[in-house]
């Protein structure tokens, strides 16, 4: 037995040396996933009952030789009784992260089923239910919810390296190929086509706007950017990059206003206060940041006094931070005297830490204590019990399994896909863009989104194709019932205008 083991070890060692003969190992055979499961459903939207077919399962991406590369999980809803698909829009939708599955938009606002929450947007007690979504977009468009590789149930095919999908370019290529393939297999080339993304999903959507046109000549009618981030320089608190401090300030103001921490003159009218915060951030505050260490003692004191009125933070604390407050510090400091922390995704939400002395919070109360449990639980129940789809893989709702994300396309610079979107709008003058922004969102602040679009170099006729809407909610503005209702109205307006 020892001789045989020594022989096997020697053989393995020999096979691994340089210039050894090619391995004779047989490739892992491709086993096609089962065909998507189809179920029937109905949803009542604005008093009208809509019958639909839900399609749940995988679409396999292959190279041109037929080799399987990845199995992409999707859930699609198609309105029944439509005889002419050239008149029926289709929307491809996804969330962000990177590392997020599409369940948030799916079960939060766009799909035919949604998760009930409190009027404010807080979680109800588990187990979590699903109800008819009377604010679904299904009356306006068919829907395809896409989970990129290593999110949801999507995985690289057997024998394939998952890293080939985990990066900006890699992600655009795989999701773009999914869209092309679904469009082809289900006969939707003649349909009006839309993209809807949230958070990093807006980055993906902007990238796809150019990629789909340039690679496949697949032109899009409209793009919904929900909680938009296209230029990452606007949100990276790196030393030497002062831009985010000014662009986040109006959101700090909004959150401080919500918690009644502002100076009295700014506590009366939110919208007027936010405009004042914009003006201060773009003017006097930006000028002071530009001066850097040349700012005089007198100037610093005067600025700290004004900054305190817009943030609810003490002048002493602001001077200690060199007038530069990062997200983690703001959410910890604003409510420190009350023993609470504010949320990052939604600054209206609050949580408690072990102690109140830290520089940042232990967890984001607007994620971990608000949406993670309800959405993940409801999705796992929904696919099996209502959509009749079974899969024993863990559904990766928000995962680190996409890290490290490859940004090699922008080494020594910030990812900025706004130029890709500008080019797409130039090549396709009919492309409409809608940006939805929450006032209390510290992940993708509304003023940063405004800044990005104001620096794209759009011509006046192109700017007419861009619309902004605002909500008194956070990153997932739809968890707030009044914002969900308004979001539906705004979505209807967007589709109507884009299809004129």
* pLDDT tens-digit series, residues 165-221: 999 999 999 999 999 999 999 999 999 999 999 999 999 999 999 999 999 999 999
CA nearest neighbour of 389 among 157, 152, 123, 162: 152
The residue-averaged pLDDT of 397-413 equals 94
The model's pTM: 0.92
pLDDT value at residue 412: 87
Does residue 414 have a pLDDT over 60?
yes
Residue 32 pLDDT grade (very low, low, confident, very high; cuts 50, 70, 90): confident
Instruction: Work out the percent of the chain whose per-residue pLDDT is above 70.
Output: 94
Is 491 in contact with 136 (CB distance < 8 Å)? no
The residue-averaged pLDDT of 62-90 equals 97
pLDDT value at residue 30: 60
Residue 362 pLDDT grade (very low, low, confident, very high; cuts 50, 70, 90): very high
**Cis before residue 300, ω within 30 degrees of 0?**
no
What does the domain layout of the chain look like in residue ranges?
Answer: 37-233+372-498, 247-325
Element (H, E) at 319: helix 315-320
pLDDT value at residue 15: 35
Residue 4 pLDDT grade (very low, low, confident, very high; cuts 50, 70, 90): very low
Does residue 356 have a pLDDT over 50?
yes
CA nearest neighbour of 310 among 239, 227, 245: 245
The residue-averaged pLDDT of 88-105 equals 97
Neighbours of 126 (CB within 10 A): 10
Question: How are beta strands 131-132 and 142-147 bridged, if at all?
Answer: unpaired
Q: What is the pLDDT of residues 245-271, one digit of tens each?
A: 999 999 999 999 999 999 899 999 999
Does residue 18 have a pLDDT over 80?
no
CA nearest neighbour of 331 among 353, 360, 371: 360
pLDDT value at residue 34: 87
The residue-averaged pLDDT of 472-483 equals 97
Contacts of 242 (CB under 8 A, 6+ apart): 286, 289, 290, 324
Question: What whole-number distance in Å separates Cα of residue 189 and Cα of residue 219?
Answer: 10
The domain 37-233+372-498 is classified under which CATH number: 3.40.630.30, 3.30.1490.20, 3.40.50.2300, 3.40.50.1820? 3.40.50.1820
Supply the DSSP string of 275-300, one letter for each residue. HHHHHHIIIIIHHHHHHGGG--HHHH
pLDDT value at residue 369: 78
Average pLDDT, the chain: 93
Question: What whole-number distance in Å separates Cα of residue 102 and Cα of residue 383?
Answer: 13
pLDDT value at residue 10: 33
| 155 phi, psi to nearest 5 deg | -145, 160
Neighbours of 39 (CB within 10 A): 13
Strand partners, 27: none
Does residue 227 have a pLDDT over 90?
yes
């Amino acid at each position: 037995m020892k001789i045989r083991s020594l022989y096997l070890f020697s053989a393995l060692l020999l096979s691994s040396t340089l210039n050894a003969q090619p391995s004779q190992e047989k490739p892992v055979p491709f086993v096609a996933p089962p065909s998507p499961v189809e179920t029937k459903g109905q949803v009542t939207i604005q008093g009208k009952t809509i019958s639909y077919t839900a399609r749940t399962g995988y679409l396999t991406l292959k190279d041109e030789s037929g080799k399987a590369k990845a199995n992409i999980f999707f859930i699609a809803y198609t309105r029944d009784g439509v005889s002419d698909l050239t008149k029926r829009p289709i929307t491809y939708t996804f969330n962000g992260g990177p590392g997020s599955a599409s369940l948030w938009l799916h079960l939060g606002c766009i799909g035919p089923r949604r998760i009930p929450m409190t009027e404010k947007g807080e979680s109800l007690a588990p187990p979590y239910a699903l109800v008819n979504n009377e604010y679904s977009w299904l009356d306006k468009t068919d829907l395809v919810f896409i989970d990129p590789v290593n999110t949801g149930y999507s995985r690289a095919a057997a024998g394939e390296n998952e890293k080939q999908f985990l990066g900006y370019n890699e992600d655009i290529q795989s999701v773009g190929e999914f869209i092309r393939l679904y469009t082809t297999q289900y006969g939707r080339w003649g349909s009006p086509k839309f993209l809807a993304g949230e958070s990093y999903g807006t980055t993906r959507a902007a990238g796809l706007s150019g990629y789909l046109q340039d690679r496949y000549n697949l032109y899009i009618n409209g793009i919904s950017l929900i909680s938009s981030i296209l230029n990452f320089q606007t949100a990276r608190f790196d030393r030497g990059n002062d831009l985010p401090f000014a662009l986040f300030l109006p959101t700090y103001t909004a959150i401080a206003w919500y918690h009644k921490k502002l100076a009295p003159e700014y506590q009366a009218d939110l919208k007027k206060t936010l405009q004042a915060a914009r003006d201060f951030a773009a003017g006097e505050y930006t000028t002071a940041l530009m001066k850097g260490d040349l700012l005089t003692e007198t100037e610093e004191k005067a600025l700290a006094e004004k900054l305190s009125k817009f943030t609810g933070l003490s002048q002493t604390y602001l001077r200690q931070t060199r007038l530069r407050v990062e997200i983690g510090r703001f959410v910890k400091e604003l409510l420190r005297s009350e023993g609470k922390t504010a949320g990052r995704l939604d600054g209206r939400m609050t949580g408690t830490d072990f102690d109140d002395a830290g520089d940042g919070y232990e967890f984001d109360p607007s994620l971990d204590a608000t949406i993670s449990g309800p959405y993940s639980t409801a999705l796992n129940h929904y696919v099996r019990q209502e959509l009749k789809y079974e899969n024993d893989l863990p559904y990766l709702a928000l995962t680190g399994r996409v890290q490290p994300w490859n940004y090699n396309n922008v080494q020594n610079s910030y990812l900025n896909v706004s130029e890709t979107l500008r080019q797409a709008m130039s090549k396709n003058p009919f492309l409409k863009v809608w940006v939805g922004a929450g006032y209390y969102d510290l992940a993708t602040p509304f003023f940063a989104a405004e800044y990005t679009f104001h620096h794209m170099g759009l011509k006046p006729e192109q700017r007419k194709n861009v619309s902004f809407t605002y909500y008194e909610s956070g990153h997932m503005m739809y968890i707030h019932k009044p914002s969900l209702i308004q979001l539906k109205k705004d979505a209807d307006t967007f589709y109507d205008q884009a299809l004129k």
